[in-house]
Amino acid sequence: MKQVVAFVVIFGGWFVLQRWILPAFGVPTCMSGACRPPMSRPQPMRPGTDVESESDPSEAAEQREAS
């Protein structure tokens, strides 16, 4: 009987830790929803766009001034 009670206490403690305590401290767990797939899919790039010029604002500004 002691073994069953010990198992229930340990399992209950693990459940409480995973469900409420760790997420409260910012630790992502599967029970807090961290294992879900992302909700939005990445958008496809438009044809003819240059990733480097979009990531560097000075290059994009120079290209706008040149045109």
Domain assignment present for residue 48? The answer is no
pLDDT in the model for residue 30: 84
Residue 1, domain extent: 1-34
Domain assignment present for residue 51? The answer is no
* Domains in the chain, number: 1
Q: In terms of pTM, does the model score above 0.75?
A: no
Q: How far is 14 from 59, CA to CA, in rounded Å?
A: 53
Closest CA to 20 of 31, 9, 6: 31
Q: For residue range 37-61, list pLDDT tens digits in order.
A: 766 766 676 776 655 545 555 665 6
| Amino acid residing at 37 | P
Domain assignment present for residue 16? The answer is yes
Q: With 60 as the cut, is the pLDDT of residue 34 above it?
A: yes
Residue 59: φ, ψ to 5°: -65, -40
Q: With 80 as the cut, is the pLDDT of residue 66 above it?
A: no
Domain assignment present for residue 43? The answer is no
Domain assignment present for residue 25? The answer is yes
Domain assignment present for residue 58? The answer is no
Is the Cα dihedral 36, 27, 32, 3 positive or negative? Answer: positive
Q: With 90 as the cut, is the pLDDT of residue 7 above it?
A: yes
Domain assignment present for residue 62? The answer is no
